[in-house]
Structure 1
Amino acid sequence: MNGRATGTNLDTVRRHNLSTVLGIVHREGPLARSALTQATGLNRSTVGALVGELAELGLVQEREPELSNRVGRPSPVVAADGRVVAIAVNPEIDAVTVGVVGLDAVVHRRVRYPIGHIPSAAEAVAVAGAVIDGLRPSLGDATRVTGIGVAVPGLVREDDGVVRLAPHLQWREEPFAAELSAATGYPVLAANDASLGANAERLFGAGRGASDLVYVNGGASGIGAGVIVSGAPLTGISGYAGELGHTLVNSAGVRCHCGAIGCLETEVSQSALLRVLGMDAADADELERALSAAVAAGDEAVIAEVERQTGFLATALRTATNVFDPQLIVLGGFLGALHGLDPERLPRLVGEQALAASAERLSIVRSELGSDILMIGAAELAFRPLLADPAG
C-alpha cells in the first residue's frame, strides 16, 4: 500500500477524503476499517463517517470480519461494491469484445462477437450497442452502470474519444466515443488499448508495486505499448506515446502500413502465427492452447515461427529496456503466449543485447490478468470520474 494519496481531516476536502477511501478499497480489495485508518492517516471516527457515506451511496459494503484469536472487537471489513459496474469495449479487426467489470475489479461477463471482416467505426458502434443491449437484462435492477470505457488499438485523443488513427481498423478521425454514447445512452471514454492495459497491470496484475514498467500488448490489430514511469503513465504531449509496434527490428524487412520498413509488428504478428497453425481466427486463450499443443507435438513449422518472432520481439524489448530502464516488462495478448512457451529464452536474449546496467534488474513476465486485461483497463477508464468524485 505504498504511494497512496493521504487523506486529511479538514471538512473542506470531504470529496478528496471520499475519493481516497474509495480508491484504496477499489485498488487493494477488502480492508478492515482499522487498515483504512492507518492507510489514510485519518482518525477512526472520520474514516467511519466516510465509509458510512460511501455505503449510503451504494459504493462500498461493510461486513463482519472472519473470526480470529485477537483480543478485542474486530474491525469491520470494507469492500468496493461489485454491483457498481462499468462496461468495457474493445474493437478489433476480427471481433468486438464487450465486458462487464465490477468496482471490485472482477470481470462478471465477457462477450466476444466475431466479425468476418474489418468493421467500420459505425459497424463497431452498432455491434457494441447490440451486445450491450443484450446484456442489460442480466445486469439486474441492483446494478449501477457508471459508463463505458473503450480500449482502441490506435491513437486516441482522450479528451473527446476521437480515434485519430487506428491503421489496422482503417479508422481515421472517427468520433467513436460520442457515437457509442449516442447509441447506448451511457457516458463513454476511450483511450489506447496498450496504455489501458499498462494501467490495469500496474494496479491489479503483475505490475503491482512496480514504479517503472513497460506493458506490451499483442493483438489482432498489431502491437502497442504502455509505459509507466515513476508510477505515472507516460503519455506524450498528445497522448500517443508507446507505439513500440513501430520500432525498427529488421532493416531488411517489409514495408509497414505506417510507411516505414521493418517495424516490429510486421515481423511479430498474430496473423502469422494463425497461418502457421492453419487457423483463421482465435482469441488469445484459443491461440495459446493451439501454440502449446503444436510445440508439444514437435511441429517444426510452428516452432520455427515462434523462435523467429521471439527473436524480433527481443530486439524491440532491448530498445525499450535501454530507453526506459524499467524494472518490469509485462507481455499481454499473444505476446504473453509466446513468452509462456519458453519463459527463459526472451529474458536471456534481451539480457544479451541490452545495456548491462539497464538489464541487470529487469524482469520480463506475462500479464497476470490474461485475456481480461483490456476489459479491466477499459473499465478503469470508465470508473475514473466516479473514483475522483464519489458523491458527484
Structure 2
Amino acid sequence: MSEAAARTERVRRANLARVLRLVHLDGPQSRAALTEATGLNRSTIAALVGELVDEGLVQERAPDSVGRVGRPSPVVAVDPRVVAIAVNPEVDAITIAAVGLDRRVLARDRIETAEVLTPSAVAASVAARIEQWRAGVLRSARIEGVGLAVPGLVRTLDGIVRIAPHLGWQNAPVRDLVTAATGLRTTVGNDASLGALAEHLFGAARGVDDVVYLNGGASGIGGGVIVHGRPLGGAGGYAGEFGQNRPGIAADVDRRAGDGVLEDEVSRTRLLAAVGLDSADEPTLAAAIAASASATVTDEVARQRRILVTALANAVNVLNPSVVVLGGFLATIAADAIPELLVEVRRQTMPTLADDLELRLAVLAEDRLLIGAAELAFADLLSTPALP
C-alpha cells in the first residue's frame, strides 16, 4: 500500500470511530446532525454510516416526520445487539450484567455469596452466566468482550490485580482467567475509577472537565479523578485510593477504628450493623436507613457525614475540582443533606478553592460500575470499529 493510500485508510478509520463514538456518547442522531458535528460532507457521512451498518454496529431508521418540512434525514443509532458483559465482584456478592452499546442494561444478576470468591470462581461464574444468557436474552447479541470492575489496585499494563485486600486477591491474573473461561477479550479496571468514567461520560459529571468521584461499596471507599477531561491514572494506574487516607476526626467521640483509614470509619458495614442487616444491595440499604426511626441509625449517619466532609475538603484542597460526585453508600448518607455538607466542605477548604464547587450524587445509581466496566470492554471497538 502506498503512503497516500495508507494515509487515506487511517483517515477513514478515524472517521468511522468518530461517528460511532458520537452516537454512542450522545445517542441517536440524524445524518444531518452528524454532518454538522464532524464537519464532513453529506456523502462522506452516508458512506461511513453505511459501512457501520454493514459491520453491525449501527442501525438507521426513518425520523419522526411530524412538523418537518422537506426531506427528513435518516436517524443513526448504535445497534442494540452489540453488548459487553460487565462484572463487579464484591465481598458479599458478584454482579454480572449485559450492557448494550446504547448503555441499556439488558440483563443483570446479583449473586450473593457466603464467602469471598476466588479469581477462578469469578471466571467460572461469568462463563456460566454468559452461556445461560446466550441461550436466552442474548441469543441474537454480538458480545464484544468482558469488563471487570474490581475493588482493588489493577495494573493497567496487563490487567493483573496487584491487591484487592477485601477480596483477599494478590497478583491475581483475573483477566487471563476470564478470557480462558469465556473465550472473550477481557479488560480489568478499578471499580471506583470506572464509576468515575461512567459518571463523567453519561452521568452527574457529564460535560465537566475536573471531577473528583468517591464511591462507597462493600469493600470500602475508592475514587476516581478526571483532570482536564481525562482520567487520572497515576504512574501504575492506581490513583484515586481516597479510602486509604487517614481521616481528620475533630472529636475523639467520633472515632471507631483507632488509627484506621477513612474506609474504616465511613463504612457500609457500620451502616448495615446500625440498621440490623447482614447484607444488602444499595437500594435496600438506602430504604432501610430512610425508614429507620432509630437514634442509633441517625447518629451513625451524622458521624459518618462529619468525617466524610473533612475527607472531601482535603480532596478539594489538593485537586480543585469543579464537581465532587458521591456514589454508592456515600450517596445514601449524603442524599438529603447536600447543601449542608457543601457548606461544611467550603468551611474546611482554602478560600476561593471551593467558591464554585458543586457536590452531586451519582445519577447512574447501581448501574454506574457496570456501565464503566462495559465502557472499558467497548474501548477497542470504539477506537477502531473498522474491520481489517
Q: 1:64: Cα distance to partner?
A: 1.0
* Superposed counterparts of 1:23-172, under 5 Å: 23-172=21-170
Structure 2 residue aligned with 1:230: 228
Q: Deviations over 1:126-156 (max 9, x none)?
A: 2232223222212444210000000000000
Give the whole-Å Cα distance in 2 for the aligned partners of 1:347 and 1:151: 29
Give the whole-Å Cα distance in 1 for the aligned partners of 2:167 and 2:331: 23
Give yes or no for the alignment of 1:366 onto 2:361.
Answer: yes
Give the whole-Å Cα distance in 1 for the aligned partners of 2:133 and 2:139: 13
Contact 2:85–2:98 at 8 Å: present in 1 too? yes
* Superposed counterparts of 1:207-246, under 5 Å: 207-246=205-244
Aligned residue among 312, 320, 329 for 2:315: 320
Q: 1:68: Cα distance to partner?
A: 3.4
Structure 2 residue aligned with 1:329: 324
TM-score (structure 1 length as normaliser): 0.93
Give yes or no for the alignment of 1:381 onto 2:376.
Answer: yes
Q: 1:11: Cα distance to partner?
A: 5.1
Give the whole-Å Cα distance in 1 for the aligned partners of 2:10 and 2:163: 43
**Aligned-partner SS, 1:227:** strand
One-letter code of the match for 1:343?
I
Structure 2 residue aligned with 1:343: 338
Give the whole-Å Cα distance in 1 for the aligned partners of 2:131 and 2:350: 52
Give the whole-Å Cα distance in 2 for the aligned partners of 1:98 and 1:92: 11
Q: Deviations over 1:159-181 (max 9, x none)?
A: 22110010111110000010011
Say which is worse superposed, 355-364 or 305-314, in terms of deviation: 355-364
One-letter code of the match for 2:73?
S
List alignment gaps of at least 5 residues for structure 2: 1-6
Contact 1:96–1:128 at 8 Å: present in 2 too? no
Give the whole-Å Cα distance in 2 for the aligned partners of 1:24 and 1:125: 33
Aligned residue among 240, 245, 248 for 2:246: 248
Contact 1:219–1:270 at 8 Å: present in 2 too? yes
Structure 2 residue aligned with 1:6: none
Q: 1:82: Cα distance to partner?
A: 1.1
Give the whole-Å Cα distance in 2 for the aligned partners of 1:189 and 1:121: 14
Q: 1:67: Cα distance to partner?
A: 2.0
The change in CA–CA distance for 1:359 and 1:135 in structure 2 (over 3 A counts) is same
**Aligned-partner SS, 1:73:** coil
Q: Deviations over 1:209-246 (max 9, x none)?
A: 10111111100000000000000000001000001001
**Aligned-partner SS, 1:359:** coil
CA RMSD of aligned residues (A): 1.5
Percent identical: 50
Structure 1 residue aligned with 2:3: none
Contact 1:314–1:346 at 8 Å: present in 2 too? yes
Contact 1:91–1:124 at 8 Å: present in 2 too? yes
Contact 1:200–1:376 at 8 Å: present in 2 too? yes
Give the whole-Å Cα distance in 1 for the aligned partners of 2:83 and 2:10: 29
**Aligned-partner SS, 1:282:** coil
**Aligned-partner SS, 1:61:** strand
**Aligned-partner SS, 1:93:** coil
One-letter code of the match for 2:110?
R
TM-score (structure 2 length as normaliser): 0.94
Contact 1:250–1:263 at 8 Å: present in 2 too? no
One-letter code of the match for 1:106?
R
One-letter code of the match for 1:350?
V
Q: 1:299: Cα distance to partner?
A: 1.5
Structure 2 residue aligned with 1:4: none
**Aligned-partner SS, 2:216:** strand
List alignment gaps of at least 5 residues for structure 1: 1-8
Contact 1:88–1:379 at 8 Å: present in 2 too? yes
Contact 2:193–2:224 at 8 Å: present in 1 too? yes
Contact 2:248–2:310 at 8 Å: present in 1 too? no
Q: 1:254: Cα distance to partner?
A: 6.4
Structure 1 residue aligned with 2:269: 271
**Aligned-partner SS, 2:166:** coil
**Aligned-partner SS, 2:157:** coil
Give the whole-Å Cα distance in 2 for the aligned partners of 1:204 and 1:12: 28
